[in-house]
């Protein structure tokens, strides 16, 4: 703690008098559970922190209340300034007490929030901060239905903000207080408004300066305005000639700076945000267009944890996830259930990766109540929507707001509430479309601008061939809807068996079933003009204490990010235009009792050459980037090799009764197939 106090004093002396200063507030916390009654045995922790550390704790996930206690010294020299504390995420309900006095409550684990503590601190003395955080399920905080683990705790960073008596407000919906609203964007000009929220304890007029700099640092717009702070935001129109437009291929970012004070060289407050100028339009004829140019969405759904960091992913974790998404060839991601950290969206802005952000109105299991028709539930949903939109409005990578996911209309019908949410999203941000993920029929599908169908035909029932019938019926009856499609199925690479016919077993989730499902869906749905986008569920497995093995294993990659499943290579072949792919499917199933075998290959490097033993086996193109071999009959140890251009892949199989003496495979031909004995 002494080191933290010293750091504060050092930064204070280095700061300009009256200027905004931001100090990390991640160190020095002591954590103890509410049930412990005392902080005597509190654990010393550093934020981000969660009390659930194992993502795969099956059926034994801790939902409780934790206390976070910190002591900070507030210098006497700060007495004429203002103090705020900002938490970037607390899962899910948080209350702050300063020196024992209640300061504020935040309900919702997805967004940042700020409390002013100026009137509750003692200047020139130590001050105690106590945060109580609960991740227990409750009927008036969204989401009330989810299978993802809500890890609990102060799972994102925190900071202390020091400002002048008059400042750009840190209090407005957890934002920086500066919202950029483009209205008309073309290659010739970008026009819009800067919405600036001020807070003042003096009531005196002040000078506000708005500066916009191009990606290369050139100042392209400046305006100074004399205002008297009140409850209404200051709105400054702007115009930028020949702007560098943001797009996935050219993610150009402009820097917007708002300063307060007469002296531009020494402002009393300054806030800087980044944004990009671009247009987004989606229609049934041309799909999604960014700045008038068509872009086919190849998206993946992204959840919020990993095997090493649990529910507190680091910047390095996020960078590595984005690198795998880029390697796959995806150009969009969906923040499932709720937003990710601001760091993710900053990187998406820079990389040109499009984003769909859900609000936490979500259904997973049949027994769950996802919608409570109560004023408290609906108010919390509206509050979270407002925070999500405001906090992510400046990110050009964010392309759409997700209003709900897979809700039912049974029991209390949520359609009216959904309409109010949709209207509120349009009022808060007219520049982006709204979207819903639906597996239901009815009026619920006609509220949002876009609808993404998640039917998973052929997974729970029927055949994957039925997806083509579903697609054709959708085209015949509902082609006027702006439709996307999402799909996925569970698969665990370790669930392999050498027997050809596996009897149905409880919780048996073989990767090969997931692979076959994706093969048929990719064959029937990829590049179909009916859909403006295709979304794969999910990019990575994620922790789910409510599921067998403590996992939702629909990911293309394992929870620890080490194992890329076969379906990953299928989409890499289809989507990655920069680097070719060659993959021999089902390599992990190396013991096989059936003598008759066929092989499946994913290749974006041209038609592959398949060698079984020393002999060539013919392959045919089954679908885009999918190749299948003739059926061959094998016995014993067999080496299977495939090549395409400079790429190679191989596996050694044991085929037949593996207890028999292994025989060298010999190829013979029959009238209708190649056979190996």
pLDDT bin (cut points 50, 70, 90) of residue 316 is very high
CATH number at residue 599: 2.60.40.10
Q: Give the model's pLDDT for residue 501.
A: 53
Q: Give the model's pLDDT for residue 676.
A: 36
Domain assignment present for residue 291? The answer is no
Q: Give the model's pLDDT for residue 19.
A: 80
Q: Are residues 142 and 196 in the same domain?
A: no
Q: Give the model's pLDDT for residue 475.
A: 95
Q: Give the model's pLDDT for residue 502.
A: 54
Q: Is the pLDDT of residue 14 over 70?
A: no
Q: Give the model's pLDDT for residue 358.
A: 98
d(CA 409, CA 394): 34
Share the mean pLDDT of the chain.
Answer: 93
Q: Are residues 409 and 558 in the same domain?
A: yes
Choose the final residue of a domain: 138, 167, 196.
167
Q: Contact, 180 vs 273, CB < 8 A? A: yes
d(CA 176, CA 628): 55
Q: Contact, 630 vs 527, CB < 8 A? A: no
Q: What is the pLDDT of residues 229-238, one digit of tens each?
A: 988 999 999 9
CATH number at residue 143: 2.60.120.260
Number of H helices, E strands in the chain: 8, 45
Q: Are residues 624 and 515 in the same domain?
A: no
> Which letter does DSSP use for residue 231 in this model?
S
Q: What is the pLDDT of residues 331-387, one digit of tens each?
A: 999 999 999 999 999 999 999 999 999 999 999 988 899 999 999 999 999 999 999
Q: Is the pLDDT of residue 118 over 80?
A: yes
Q: Are residues 199 and 334 in the same domain?
A: no
Residue corresponding to tokens 């639906």: 438
Q: What is the pLDDT of residues 389-428, one digit of tens each?
A: 999 999 999 999 999 999 988 889 999 999 999 999 999 9
pLDDT bin (cut points 50, 70, 90) of residue 496 is confident
d(CA 410, CA 427): 29
- 21-24: strand order across its sheet: 21-24, 158-163, 82-87, 113-116
Hey, what are 103's tokens? 């300061």
Choose the final residue of a domain: 580, 611, 627.
580
Q: Are residues 272 and 184 in the same domain?
A: yes
Q: Is 65 exposed, middle or buried (0-12, 13-18, 19+ CB in 10 A)?
A: middle
Q: Contact, 407 vs 445, CB < 8 A? A: no
Q: Are residues 621 and 507 in the same domain?
A: no
Q: Give the model's pLDDT for residue 540.
A: 98
d(CA 31, CA 67): 6
Q: Is the pLDDT of residue 11 over 90?
A: no
Q: Give the model's pLDDT for residue 671.
A: 38
Domain assignment present for residue 623? The answer is yes
Q: Give the model's pLDDT for residue 329.
A: 98
pLDDT bin (cut points 50, 70, 90) of residue 497 is confident
Range of the domain at 141: 2-167
Q: Are residues 247 and 302 in the same domain?
A: no
Q: Are residues 322 and 261 in the same domain?
A: no
Long-range contacts, 366-371 (Cβ 8 Å, 24+): 368/144, 368/145, 369/139, 369/144, 369/145, 369/411, 370/143, 370/144, 370/145, 370/407, 370/408, 370/414, 371/144, 371/407, 371/412, 371/414, 371/417
Beta-strand runs (E) in 604-666 = 609-612, 615-617, 619-623, 626-629, 632-633, 636-644, 647-655
The larger pLDDT score, comparing residue 331 to residue 593, is at 331
Q: Are residues 305 and 368 in the same domain?
A: yes
Q: Is the pLDDT of residue 664 over 90?
A: no
Q: What is the pLDDT of residues 611-661, one digit of tens each?
A: 999 899 999 999 999 999 999 999 999 999 999 999 999 999 999 865 444
Q: Give the model's pLDDT for residue 5.
A: 43
Domain assignment present for residue 288? The answer is no
Q: Give the model's pLDDT for residue 672.
A: 41
pLDDT bin (cut points 50, 70, 90) of residue 498 is low
Q: Are residues 329 and 232 in the same domain?
A: no
Q: Are residues 109 and 233 in the same domain?
A: no
Range from 134-138, 498-502, 582-586 carrying the lowest mean pLDDT: 498-502
- 206-213: strand order across its sheet: 219-227, 206-213, 254-260, 269-275
Q: Contact, 124 vs 63, CB < 8 A? A: no
Q: Give the model's pLDDT for residue 38.
A: 86
pLDDT bin (cut points 50, 70, 90) of residue 42 is very high
Cis peptide before 538 (omega within 30 of 0): yes
Residue range 586-592: average pLDDT? Answer: 93
Beta-strand runs (E) in 137-248 = 158-163, 166-168, 178-185, 189-196, 198-200, 206-213, 219-227, 234-241
Range from 39-43, 92-96, 459-463, 626-630 carrying the lowest mean pLDDT: 459-463
Choose the final residue of a domain: 557, 580, 603.
580
Q: Give the model's pLDDT for residue 37.
A: 84
Domain assignment present for residue 15? The answer is yes
Domain assignment present for residue 448? The answer is yes
Q: Give the model's pLDDT for residue 12.
A: 45
Domain assignment present for residue 289? The answer is no
Q: According to DSSP H, which parts of 189-314 are helical? A: none
Q: Are residues 44 and 93 in the same domain?
A: yes
Residue corresponding to tokens 């929507």: 385
Give the torsion through C-alpha atoms of 417, 419, 423, 429, to 10 deg.
90
Q: Give the model's pLDDT for residue 280.
A: 97
CATH number at residue 347: 3.20.20.80
Q: Is the pLDDT of residue 576 over 90?
A: yes
pLDDT bin (cut points 50, 70, 90) of residue 60 is confident
d(CA 374, CA 337): 21
Domain assignment present for residue 586? The answer is no
> Which letter does DSSP use for residue 407 in this model?
-
How many domains are there within the chain?
4
Domain assignment present for residue 150? The answer is yes
Q: What is the pLDDT of residues 68-105, one digit of tens each?
A: 999 999 999 999 999 999 999 999 999 999 999 999 99
Residue corresponding to tokens 């009856």: 477
Q: Is 337 exposed, middle or buried (0-12, 13-18, 19+ CB in 10 A)?
A: buried
């Amino acid at each position: 703690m002494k080191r933290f106090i010293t750091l504060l004093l050092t930064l204070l002396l280095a700061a300009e008098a009256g200027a905004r200063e931001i100090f990390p507030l991640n160190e020095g916390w002591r954590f103890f559970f509410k049930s412990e009654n005392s902080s005597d045995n509190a654990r010393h922790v550093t934020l981000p922190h969660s009390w659930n550390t194992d993502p795969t704790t099956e059926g034994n996930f801790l939902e409780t209340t934790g206390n976070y206690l910190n002591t900070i010294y507030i210098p006497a020299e700060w007495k004429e300034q203002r103090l705020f504390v900002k938490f970037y995420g607390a899962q899910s309900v948080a209350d702050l007490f300063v020196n024992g006095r209640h300061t504020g409550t935040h309900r919702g684990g997805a967004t940042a929030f700020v409390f002013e503590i100026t009137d509750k601190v003692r200047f020139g003395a130590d001050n105690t901060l106590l945060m109580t955080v609960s991740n227990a399920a409750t009927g008036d905080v969204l989401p009330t239905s989810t299978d993802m683990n809500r890890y609990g705790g102060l799972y994102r960073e925190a900071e202390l903000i020091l400002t002048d008596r008059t400042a750009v407000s840190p209090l407005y919906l957890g934002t920086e207080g500066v919202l950029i609203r483009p209205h008309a964007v073309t290659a010739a000009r970008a026009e819009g408004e800067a919405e600036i929220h001020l807070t003042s304890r003096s009531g005196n007029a002040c000078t506000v300066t708005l500066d916009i700099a191009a990606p290369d640092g050139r100042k392209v717009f400046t305006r100074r305005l004399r205002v008297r702070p009140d409850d209404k935001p200051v709105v400054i129109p702007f115009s930028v000639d020949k702007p560098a437009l943001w797009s996935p291929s050219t993610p150009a970012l402009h820097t917007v700076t708002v300063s307060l004070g007469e002296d531009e060289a020494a402002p009393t407050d300054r806030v800087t945000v980044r944004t990009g100028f671009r247009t987004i339009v989606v229609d049934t004829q041309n799909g999604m267009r960014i700045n008038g140019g068509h872009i086919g969405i190849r998206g993946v759904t992204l959840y919020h944890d990993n095997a090493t960091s649990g529910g507190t992913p680091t910047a390095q974790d996020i960078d590595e996830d984005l690198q795998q998404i880029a390697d796959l060839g995806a150009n969009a991601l969906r923040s499932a259930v709720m937003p990710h950290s601001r760091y993710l969206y900053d990187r998406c802005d820079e990389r040109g990766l499009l984003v769909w952000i859900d609000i936490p109105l979500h259904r997973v299991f049949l027994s769950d109540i996802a919608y409570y028709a109560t004023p408290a539930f609906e108010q919390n949903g509206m509050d979270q929507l407002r925070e999500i939109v405001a906090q992510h409005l400046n990110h050009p990578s964010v392309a759409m707001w997700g209003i709900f996911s897979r809700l039912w209309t049974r029991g209390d019908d949520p359609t009216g509430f959904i309409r109010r949410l949709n209207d509120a999203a349009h009022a808060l941000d007219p520049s982006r479309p709204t979207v819903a993920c639906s597996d239901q029929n009815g009026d619920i599908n006609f509220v949002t601008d876009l609808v993404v169908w998640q039917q998973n035909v052929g997974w729970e029932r029927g055949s994957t061939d039925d997806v083509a019938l579903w697609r054709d019926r959708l085209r015949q009856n509902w082609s006027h809807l702006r439709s996307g499609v999402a799909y996925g199925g569970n698969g665990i690479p370790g669930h392999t068996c050498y027997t050809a016919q596996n009897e149905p077993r409880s919780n048996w989730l073989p990767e090969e079933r997931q692979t076959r499902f994706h093969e048929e869906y990719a064959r029937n749905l990829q590049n179909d003009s009916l859909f403006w986008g295709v979304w794969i569920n999910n990019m990575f497995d994620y922790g789910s204490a409510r599921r067998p093995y403590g996992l939702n294993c629909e990911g293309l990659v394992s929870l620890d990010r080490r194992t890329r499943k076969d379906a990953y290579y299928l989409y890499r072949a289809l989507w990655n235009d920069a680097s070719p792919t060659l993959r021999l499917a089902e390599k992990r199933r190396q013991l096989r009792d059936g003598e008759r075998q066929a092989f499946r290959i994913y290749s974006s490097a041209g038609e592959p050459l398949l060698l079984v033993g020393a002999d060539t086996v013919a392959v045919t193109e089954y679908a885009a980037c999918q190749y299948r071999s003739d059926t061959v009959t094998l016995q014993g140890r067999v080496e299977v090799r495939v090549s395409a251009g400079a790429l190679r892949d191989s596996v050694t199989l044991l085929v037949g009764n593996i207890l028999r003496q292994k025989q060298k495979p010999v190829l013979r031909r029959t009238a209708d197939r190649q056979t190996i004995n």
